[in-house]
Amino acid sequence: MHQFRHRSLVHGAIFGGLLSIAAGSAIAQTAPDNTKVNKRDRAAGAVTADQAKETAADRELAKKIRAAITGDDALSTYAHNVKVIVRDGKVTLKGPVRSAAEKTSVAAKATEIAGSGHVVNSLSIAPDKDHDADTTKDKVKTKDHEKPKTR
Give the model confidence (pLDDT) of 105-124 as tens digits: 999 999 999 999 999 999 99
Burial of 40 (0-12, 13-18, 19+ CB in 10 A): middle
Architecture of the domain whose range is 53-128: 2-Layer Sandwich (3.30)
Please give the pLDDT value at position 135.
47
pTM listed for this prediction: 0.58
Q: What is the pLDDT of residues 23-71, one digit of tens each?
A: 555 555 555 555 565 555 566 566 666 666 678 999 999 999 999 999 9
Please give the pLDDT value at position 125.
92
What is the chain's mean pLDDT, rounded? Answer: 76
How far apart, in whole angstroms, are the C-alpha atoms of residue 87 and residue 94? 14
